Structure 1
């Protein structure tokens, strides 16, 4: 079918998406728009059996994998349970794109048969349903990435990460919503519409992996894969109370995925896991690396899982760590709930015998600016080239209403010369050298004889904001500029009683003043609040291990002090 009208393509795609949903999984009625928190509705729907509720309420991925490996749970029943819950979630928060029930259940049955026949699992992720962001190609399915012009463009082969998941024994079972272009920290496009935050549907679910964040927050998937070029794994993780890792570049294979600004490899996007448990983050990374993905993706680093790194052999064995804590980035002061999360995390670590020192945001504005300029060096031409065949409007705001494409919010500059791009690369190298020197110098202040083991700070200066208001990416983009792995972890939720407006007379700049003015604790009520932990380049295993330690300290501290 040749159609140049983008609206016709979208209407056809939406019809096919709806037809893929089993009728018995459709909710009898949808909650009124006034119902903001919809996370409990799957339990109340009557669609899931008691056993399916037990399965989908198990957020610890290690527990699910153990039950699958021992045949206590079959892959068919686990996949069915999560599929049902994913479809319910989709009806409430609009998080899915591709739905392929029969195909996923056939894969699950093959894995159950293999286990019964051989007595052995098919791989480290045996039988586990995994959701994929709508840019990770699955042969025979569409990966539109929110572009109308890519509707009807069926993937001719699996992306390398999809191949790796199959080899590891996983069950890819849904694809999830993204913003047009992926270059947003909220999720909205003209094909599938807007993804909502399950904790408060007036708030954004983050982006660009927002479909993943919303789905996993609804317990419609135990583990998903997002991508991150400037925060797109960590935003949806934090805004939905989840864990999410931005790995070092080229640690997880990216080959075969569709992308915006494809071919721009000086500031690459990376694939990373999102999960309701930190065990899911480790299980994913360990399983993917075990498949030797460098044999399939020429850019993937040939580096096996570093058990010594995970044991924190260069960080005192994890016995007494020293964390730098970033209270603000010198650009925007975080809202009160974020500051409370930082204070709670510091107290929890110190109570467990670790050390925490203040971390100075060395040239964070310059680190942000240089990455943004590299991104935009040819973004306008790239995006317009994709949109041209159908006349689909280019979105310049996530604050759109009723699918009206209004050219406001973002300005894409014209492309720059290769020489100017090289100057940006040179500037970034200099900034990386300065930052590394600052980390090295911190050994004088830690008291451990080592530099700071990791840096803990906000993912954003706010909790999940109202739709269209996720406009500040400085806290995440610095770690992309430096190519440092960073893991998001949940801490608390916004509580108007604990997080009142804090009057201020001085500001770091116009952005800080604007951010302070929009804060109203009632607006953000119940929104999840999280932070991120960043280590040095290729310290992915150590970052996971240190996030496990921080997570454990937080849970112990909150239990001891009666903190929810």
Structure 2
């Protein structure tokens, strides 16, 4: 009886808390009309018929489908030869982008009208013979951009209402390069406020949803980009990654990406929620519908010599990689020591391992230097300032991401309460994994931060030696323990990020490709299995409270292919090997079609 009484009180407290949060959110909307409702109205106006040529609101026709079906290499050839107009290509992708937005709410800044003018002018110059598209490696390619990329005349508010109505006065280095390469930036895409979430929601733009299910997340922080590409609203786009922010959306939404190492891709002139945070450097990286598109885009960018646009880019031209006559050795990391992979994620990894072995590749189990140690170091570096920088632009009553709200509450507790609760988790709850994270994730002094950077370098050295001793070319693992989480799932799932965050800490190149989908019958967990997975630690328990093979049925599942630092070309080749061997066994991931 007493337990029931406490249970009822707990339920009443939760309902009261939700009611207060809901009312606070409404109060924020009233107090911040300019930064909230005004911004949404601006977006609607940019989409409506009066702002755009009527072609963008007409149904897709046969010529549109023909354009949407070709890889960007053929698209560029057709533009350069004069077979297709840039405006014709933009019509097709603009239509699809607006349809994708209607389904998922994936767009922030709609730049289609301005992109149409750019495309029309380029077409006119080409017709007059005043320009040679053959000299532009990305001629006519519509490119979508994460909201963080500055484009002159448009906001980059990244979900902060305080940053709305402040259009950029200049193009970021990346935007300048794309325009010079003949590409057409045409939309910007949704992110979570603070950029520190595997969801993509903010009060300014509301929630972006998964292209396969409106009840699940598309990933984050590049979730809008993944949703748009998955629905063929863009063939290639740009995201950023500091803990998995292009790889998790690729896994959740079913697209392709390669996370670059620091210094390989342009980033100067873009906005961020944590300027100056270099303990775990954020990196810009492309995302695409196919591996062929991904490689073509990388090559096109590097033909433009990006180091001439951005001082932070290493002068390292694109290198040709041929692994046909090389004995390629794959390692497999089955578990990060914190949250074991769910059935569909493990099944996808097993499919890849089986396919590679049947094709004659050597695949070995890899026992890495403690990934849990890496998670602790990475978490401390990323949250070293106690989230003060990332949350400082948030206005009074402005809702934050649920996961970051939890982290903020912990970081602002008095140290005595942090210590007492950590002791409780370690010795009463008997959960050393969760306790270890709680004990170390505190606001750091400059001296403590220096010590953490030194610890990071020691940890990187361990991995370097282990990788070399195993003579690996690539490492395979899941991108995350779960498929796409339910909307609001970061309240429980934000700590389960070890499979991606680890490679940000190491600064390794890492790609994700879609392999299969959740199957409600094959991937169901028995009560006994579910209990076992939840019993590992509090992080695993909260993650598996969200797992439901029935509601997740049909969601994409990816596999992560990891290489060493600055091995973008090699990782792309490794992903091609994986996809080729899967196809040879009849395992083909079917993309969503327009």
Per the normalisation by structure 1, the TM-score is 0.87
- Counterparts of 1:257-336 in structure 2, within 5 Å, are 257-307=270-320, 310-312=321-323, 317=324, 319-336=326-343
- Structure with the bigger percentage of helix: 2
Deviations 1:471-530 (A, max 9, x none): 221110000000001011010011112222154347543323443454221021110000
Contact (CA 8 Å) 2:108, 2:205: kept in 1 or not? yes
Q: Identify the match of residue 92 of structure 2 among 54, 73, 81.
A: 81
* Structure 2 CA distance for aligned equivalents of residues 209 and 340 of structure 1: 25
- Counterparts of 1:175-190 in structure 2, within 5 Å, are 175-190=188-203
Query: Are residues 1:21 and 2:33 paired?
Result: no
Contact (CA 8 Å) 1:261, 1:379: kept in 2 or not? no
In structure 2, the partner of 1:50 is 62
Alpha-carbon distance change, 111 to 192 in structure 1, aligned in 2, over 3 angstroms:
same
Deviations 1:165-195 (A, max 9, x none): 1121100000001000101111010100000
Contact (CA 8 Å) 2:515, 2:589: kept in 1 or not? no
Query: Are residues 1:544 and 2:572 paired?
Result: yes
In structure 2, the partner of 1:441 is 469
In structure 2, the partner of 1:40 is none
Secondary structure in 1 matching 2:165: coil
In structure 2, the partner of 1:210 is 223
Query: Are residues 1:428 and 2:456 paired?
Result: yes
* Structure 2 CA distance for aligned equivalents of residues 546 and 410 of structure 1: 39
Gaps of 5+ in 2: 1-28, 413-442
Secondary structure in 1 matching 2:34: helix
Alpha-carbon distance change, 416 to 72 in structure 1, aligned in 2, over 3 angstroms:
same
In structure 2, the partner of 1:404 is none
- Counterparts of 1:118-517 in structure 2, within 5 Å, are 118=131, 120-307=133-320, 310-312=321-323, 317=324, 319-387=326-394, 390-391=395-396, 393=398, 395-397=400-402, 407-408=405-406, 411=409, 413=411, 415-442=443-470, 451-470=471-490, 471=493, 472-501=496-525, 503-504=528-529, 505=532, 508-517=536-545
Secondary structure in 1 matching 2:525: coil
* Structure 1 CA distance for aligned equivalents of residues 51 and 154 of structure 2: 22
The structural deviation recorded for 1:255 is 0.4
The structural deviation recorded for 1:464 is 0.8
Q: Identify the match of residue 558 of structure 2 among 527, 530, 544.
A: 530
Query: Are residues 1:96 and 2:107 paired?
Result: yes
Alpha-carbon distance change, 318 to 236 in structure 1, aligned in 2, over 3 angstroms:
farther
* Structure 2 CA distance for aligned equivalents of residues 191 and 122 of structure 1: 40
RMSD: 2.4
In structure 1, the partner of 2:439 is none
Secondary structure in 2 matching 1:130: strand
The structural deviation recorded for 1:371 is 1.3
* Structure 2 CA distance for aligned equivalents of residues 61 and 561 of structure 1: 20
* Structure 2 CA distance for aligned equivalents of residues 197 and 344 of structure 1: 24
* Structure 1 CA distance for aligned equivalents of residues 569 and 198 of structure 2: 26
Alpha-carbon distance change, 24 to 157 in structure 1, aligned in 2, over 3 angstroms:
closer
For the pair shown, the structure with the greater C-alpha radius of gyration is 2
Contact (CA 8 Å) 1:237, 1:488: kept in 2 or not? yes
Query: Are residues 1:112 and 2:120 paired?
Result: no
* Structure 1 CA distance for aligned equivalents of residues 113 and 542 of structure 2: 49
* Structure 1 CA distance for aligned equivalents of residues 67 and 401 of structure 2: 41
The structural deviation recorded for 1:107 is 1.5
The structural deviation recorded for 1:321 is 1.6
The structural deviation recorded for 1:18 is 0.3
Secondary structure in 2 matching 1:121: helix
Contact (CA 8 Å) 2:226, 2:249: kept in 1 or not? yes
* Structure 2 CA distance for aligned equivalents of residues 114 and 544 of structure 1: 35
Deviations 1:219-263 (A, max 9, x none): 100101000011000011111111011101111111000001101
* Structure 2 CA distance for aligned equivalents of residues 92 and 210 of structure 1: 14
The structural deviation recorded for 1:416 is 2.0
Contact (CA 8 Å) 2:328, 2:473: kept in 1 or not? yes
* Structure 2 CA distance for aligned equivalents of residues 120 and 461 of structure 1: 45
Deviations 1:257-290 (A, max 9, x none): 0001101223210000111111222122222222
Contact (CA 8 Å) 2:582, 2:588: kept in 1 or not? no
* Structure 1 CA distance for aligned equivalents of residues 575 and 165 of structure 2: 41
Q: Which of 498-507 and 160-169 deviates more?
A: 498-507
Contact (CA 8 Å) 1:457, 1:532: kept in 2 or not? yes
Secondary structure in 1 matching 2:134: coil
Alpha-carbon distance change, 273 to 560 in structure 1, aligned in 2, over 3 angstroms:
closer
* Structure 1 CA distance for aligned equivalents of residues 250 and 588 of structure 2: 26
Contact (CA 8 Å) 2:241, 2:284: kept in 1 or not? yes
In structure 1, the partner of 2:83 is 72
In structure 1, the partner of 2:427 is none
Deviations 1:303-361 (A, max 9, x none): 11122xx224xxxx464421111211111111100111011111111121111111224
Q: Identify the match of residue 519 of structure 1 among 542, 547, 553.
A: 547
Q: Which of 134-143 and 49-58 deviates more?
A: 49-58
The structural deviation recorded for 1:298 is 2.0
Q: Which of 541-550 and 61-70 deviates more?
A: 61-70
* Structure 1 CA distance for aligned equivalents of residues 133 and 282 of structure 2: 35
